Structure 1
Amino acid sequence: MMKYAMKRNVLFISLIPLFLIFNYLSGCSPVNPHQKPVLENGLPKLSPVITDELQESDGGMPDLEYSLDRAEYFYALGVNANRDGKWEQAQSNFEKAMEILSEIDVSADSNGTNERFNKLLKEIEKDYSYTLVSQGILSDESSHSAFLEMFADIKNFKNLKEGLSAKQVAVPESVTYTMPIEFNERVQNSLVYLQTVGRKHFVLYLSRMGKYKDLMLEIIRGYNLPEDLVYLPLIESGFNPKAYSYARASGAWQFISSTGRLYGLNENWWHDERRDFVKSTHAACKYLKFLYEKFGDWNLALASYNCGEGKIERETKNQKTTNFWELRLKRQTMDYVPLFMAATIIAKDKGKYGFAEVELMEPISFDVVKVNKVMNLKKIASSLDISYEELKELNPQLMRDITPPNHPDYELRLPRGCAEKFTEVYESIPTETATNWATHRVKQGETLSSIAKHYGVGLSAIASINKIRRKSKIVAGQNLMIPIKNSSKESANGPSYSSSSRDHQIEAVGGTYTVRRGDTLWKIADRFGTTVDALKGANNLKGRNPKVFPGDRLRVSADGNRRDAEKVHVVRKGETLSSIAEKYNTTVANIRRWNNLAMSGLIVPGDRLKIYSSN
């Protein structure tokens, strides 16, 4: 494998970069909705008018006050959506606000702005966590905690450097790297950051690295990739398989859903393979290998891993350079590569850079067994006389307390040495009934007790799921999550919803759909990924706008079901599902179905979408 010698190329810059890291890591504290200050008309006033692009100051960076105004505006939209139970809309607005904050460069002299910035981030964190729990993106016992790590006093940044010994900021020596590691000013600043402001968290990350390093390294070697890539999770997730970011990336390697699916990582209500530390490492290796082969440069490959290959491809073309250090990118991506280099430098020589006391955790070790029924993890742990927490740690991909339904030969990890005993007690562990969920909008006069009776579930179960007390008052318009046991076939895809929050589940038996109240040909065509003309032709319907009535039976075999040729479309800035559907002569419903997208159809530049076409 090719080895890289250390390059010394000190860049003199007048502005010390700030390293703004947003990682939303699963914790253990419960999340509760909370009241927010009432704003005029529910939203803050903005001047000037909001646009999609940040205004820039004379220095070329986004105007600070305007950026904070925009972030507060989207945050307020998210709060309003949360109150109305519009979870996907709330999530989208919170993430937009956090994206804006991630690009802000707070100066040392703006104490008032720093306070406003930090207060806003903490408020977003709490509401964003509640939104994700409400959607089932996080398991009930989990919450998000955010950490914002910045230089507390930028004026004294030089003092931070001087406070370290010359040895702790010097060029690495006698260390061989398999990735191209440079030691310029940006890398040195990242090094100082990890040694000072970010030290507390980085100590934990280095220690936790011990659990997964050997396992991941073996997989990386299998793909003939540079071994130093094993240090990438230090800055992606802190080696936390449950990490979840504002960009909707999840797992130790921080995959977004669309990219994860392209590399074989499946997710649904029951499990999220992006959090599987084995499968996600294989996926990361495949993706990184693809990026390196595409750009022929590891710095550009890493930058693409952070912001998407489409973005880097456009910027290298527009800025007429393939030198990462010369590119002007979003701050998060500009900091990403030097931060990786700094993390790698420290990880390979902890003693020299002030982390000699860090002891690596014991490497994770496990047996793999196959499960052919729905089993409760707590009952498995009890039967094997092992810790439930250890079982959960070995299987972070499981979003609920049970193994996924309708998933034959599901591979479950057990502590090393437990496979034989599991085989012995397997039949004695009862099969569980998978739980689906309904979202109930409270009506005038309803109580928790009356709602529990209506759904035939326990009052305590509803209170526990919604993080409220049995005697808590509820108000009309409030949304509650209701656990509902499946009466027959278990659902493999996840929760069903009441009509108050989502459309009824659509069923077409034998290719025939029974029209329901409120249906139109356009709605039916959109649901089944076909066109109105195709429906009219298949059902011999005449006229320009033929009406359908509840009880009518329509043949719904859709043109969109043909999958003769598969293409991959990389989403570009400004594109929507509608514009992409038009480009490929298909429908939005088809693209949503092919890529398992939510009804909101939220996509961001860099997403990779599967497109099937008969052309």
Structure 2
Amino acid sequence: MMKIALTCLLALLLTGCASGPPSAWRIFQPQKDKSVTADDSLQPEPADNREERADAVPTEEQLLTSPHLIDLPRPQERMDAVMGQEFPGDGRPRVNFELPLHDHERVDAFVRRFTASGSVSFHRRLERSGRFVPLMRKIFAAEGLPEDLVYLAMVESGFEEHALSWAQASGPWQFIESTGRIYGLHNDAWRDERRDPVKSTRAAACHLKDLYRQFGDWHLAMAAYNAGAGRVQQALRATGASDFWTLSQGNSLHCETQEYVPKFLASLKIVREPARYGFDSVAYQNPLTFDTVTVRDATDLAVIARLCNTNLEEIRALNPELKRWCTPPGMAVYRVRVPPGTAPLFKKRYAALPADQRGRFKRHQIRRGDTLLAIARRYDLSTAEIVELNRLSNPRLLKAGATLILPLPENASTARRSASKERPPVLPAAYVVRRGDTVYGIARSFGISAADLKSWNKLDPHALIRPGQKLVVAQGAAAKAPRPTAGKSAAGLRPGAQKAVSRKTAQGRRVVYQVRSGDTLWAVSRRFNVATQDILKWNNLSDRHLLKAGQSLTLHLDGEEKG
């Protein structure tokens, strides 16, 4: 009897080995990442708007025998432990390659393209991979995915955090807003977590696992990542195909999706052996490393940079999800990434910093009878600014006792109009360049244009500044903050911004400014040191007006318009 049972078992095993694609591809068996310690006592975090999950972390044996369980999300605490690991060091990122390559003429065609006409672009993508792949592979390993799937981000965005497609897909993993929302990625006026390399990678891992659970094949899962699960499922039903290569022969998938998997496999073939394909001199970027600190709502990023002894550009680079000059208002606690090793210094300085110096915001408690227009006039703001800052869905319904956040210093008690007539703030005459500083970053920190900074210091347009170098950051004996002047390359704007047209009038210098994407009335008023109510008056705009990109605004910088 025992011999018969063994014979039947052997026959079943041989049958399984003889049919279908390799099991390593068809049914992925996650390998245990020995660098990550799982805590089985932690409960899985809730999954927003997704299918109901099992409420226990499966054992490795269960994962191996039940591939449908691999879409369990890991708790945030586990992610924190993973992100606390040290990332691989210099040179080419170390990845455990687990997906088998597929020989196909389309794959070979893309290998030829990436090593010929597209070699410069591919070289840059390889360079950027050094910054992100170590972090991404840690996350994919923690989620139980093949680590080499991280190179999908090379196909999606070239590892560009700020990549934005024609369909408004954003970030390194190119999530559209609806899919990002399903996987917990927030996008509002203050942050776009699709650009966050940690959160978006974790969301991508969960999404890929859901797709693999649905299709049971990584080729089809990747195609669905590009085209959407519904489209791929519909194409499979219409054609009767059971694999990607058969499915991609007809017209049931868009050309972009037909090329998506071959592009990934061609990229994977090159990154496994870059020297063989002529990429033996790639200067890989250093792996992304950071400390994490917590701050209160609406904390100025420039303040965070100062407390860490770094520059604003570095803080922005570590927190690409932040769209504006501060952390999102209305959040009691927000996690910010700072340069590695600076967390202890930041915590010490932040604890000693008075609350009114942490941001440029005032909290106003709504009183009975208050209206949005009355509050706006009291503080010399526009209603549009207040609505945008507080994300008010119905500005007409203000609840007594609720708190509004206003773009003013915490200790401001009267309108800004009186303050705007005071002398401009005094700036130090010189600034000593520190490591990591850039001309653009220094100019922005002092509220001046990069063009002025270069002009005052007689810098060549392409000159590099050095640590220890002294730069003049204000002109005149009083070292007053410079106002925008006609003919400057940026007219007080950031480098690359639309140039303002200026001419002298009897009432003062008249400037026509073209609104850029993301501009607000408050941002424009602060940039040109004028009151928002004046901007509204000069342009015959209502308090409820919202700026649109391309719109022209007339500004009077040396005096108020009398008419």
TM score, norm. by length of structure 1: 0.46
Partner Cα distance (1:209, 1:340) in 2:
14
Q: CA deviation at 1:345?
A: 0.8
Corresponding residue of 2:332: 408
Picking from 467, 470, 493, the partner of 1:464 is 493
Corresponding residue of 2:369: none
Q: Which amino acid aligns with 2:493?
A: S
Corresponding residue of 2:521: 483
Partner Cα distance (2:106, 2:542) in 1:
48
Q: CA deviation at 1:201?
A: 1.4
Length, aligned pairs only:
315
Classify 1:437/1:290 alpha carbon distance in 2 versus 1 (closer, same or farther; 3 Å).
farther
Matched, 1:433 2:360: yes
Once the two structures are superposed, residues 428-472 of structure 1 have per-residue CA deviations (whole angstroms, 9 ceiling, x without a partner) of: 372323599959xxxxxxxxxxxx999979985997387332616
Contact 1:4 1:181 in 2 (8 A): no
- The percent of aligned pairs where both chains have the same amino acid is 36
Give the stretch that moved more between structures: 415-424 or 379-388. 379-388
Q: Which amino acid aligns with 2:176?
A: I
Q: Which amino acid aligns with 1:464?
A: L
Classify 1:502/1:344 alpha carbon distance in 2 versus 1 (closer, same or farther; 3 Å).
farther
Classify 1:475/1:227 alpha carbon distance in 2 versus 1 (closer, same or farther; 3 Å).
closer
Classify 1:302/1:424 alpha carbon distance in 2 versus 1 (closer, same or farther; 3 Å).
same
Partner Cα distance (1:192, 1:348) in 2:
16
Classify 1:4/1:322 alpha carbon distance in 2 versus 1 (closer, same or farther; 3 Å).
closer
Picking from 298, 301, 311, the partner of 1:374 is 298
Q: Which has the larger radius of gyration?
A: 2
SS for the counterpart of 2:124 is helix
Partner Cα distance (1:502, 1:267) in 2:
28
- Give the superposed CA RMSD: 3.9
Which stretches of structure 1, 4 residues or more, deviate above 6 A after TM superposition?
452-459, 472-476, 497-503
SS for the counterpart of 1:352 is helix
Contact 2:383 2:544 in 1 (8 A): no
Partner Cα distance (2:543, 2:245) in 1:
49
Contact 1:462 1:482 in 2 (8 A): no
Classify 1:437/1:281 alpha carbon distance in 2 versus 1 (closer, same or farther; 3 Å).
farther
Corresponding residue of 1:554: none
Structure 1 unaligned blocks of 5 or more: 6-174, 440-451, 486-496, 506-615
Contact 1:304 1:311 in 2 (8 A): yes
Corresponding residue of 1:298: 218
Partner Cα distance (1:188, 1:436) in 2:
59
SS for the counterpart of 1:337 is helix
Contact 1:2 1:178 in 2 (8 A): no
Q: CA deviation at 1:504?
A: 5.5
Q: CA deviation at 1:216?
A: 1.0
| Aligned pairs (5 A) from 1:13-32 | none
* Greater relative contact order, per chain length (Cα 8 Å cut-off, separation 6+): 1
Classify 1:462/1:373 alpha carbon distance in 2 versus 1 (closer, same or farther; 3 Å).
farther
Contact 1:241 1:277 in 2 (8 A): yes
Contact 1:373 1:405 in 2 (8 A): yes
Partner Cα distance (2:512, 2:521) in 1:
20
SS for the counterpart of 1:370 is strand
TM score, norm. by length of structure 2: 0.50
Q: Which amino acid aligns with 1:469?
A: A
Q: CA deviation at 1:296?
A: 0.9
Corresponding residue of 1:324: 244
Corresponding residue of 2:259: 335
Once the two structures are superposed, residues 167-225 of structure 1 have per-residue CA deviations (whole angstroms, 9 ceiling, x without a partner) of: xxxxxxxx984224212110000111111111111111111111111211111011111
Q: Which amino acid aligns with 1:219?
A: I
Corresponding residue of 1:362: 286
Partner Cα distance (1:405, 1:320) in 2:
52
Partner Cα distance (2:223, 2:382) in 1:
40
Corresponding residue of 1:352: 276
Partner Cα distance (1:240, 1:270) in 2:
20
Partner Cα distance (1:203, 1:284) in 2:
24
Q: Which amino acid aligns with 1:428?
A: L
Classify 1:295/1:437 alpha carbon distance in 2 versus 1 (closer, same or farther; 3 Å).
farther
Partner Cα distance (1:361, 1:383) in 2:
26
Q: CA deviation at 1:484?
A: 2.4
Corresponding residue of 1:168: none
SS for the counterpart of 1:413 is strand
Q: CA deviation at 1:375?
A: 2.2
SS for the counterpart of 2:521 is strand
Picking from 200, 212, 223, the partner of 1:280 is 200
SS for the counterpart of 1:412 is strand
Q: Which amino acid aligns with 2:521?
A: P
Structure 2 unaligned blocks of 5 or more: 1-21, 27-94, 362-380, 386-415, 425-482, 485-489, 504-509, 524-534, 546-563
Matched, 1:178 2:98: yes
Corresponding residue of 1:264: 184
Classify 1:320/1:3 alpha carbon distance in 2 versus 1 (closer, same or farther; 3 Å).
closer
Q: Which amino acid aligns with 1:239?
A: F
Picking from 209, 212, 216, the partner of 2:132 is 212
Partner Cα distance (2:542, 2:240) in 1:
48
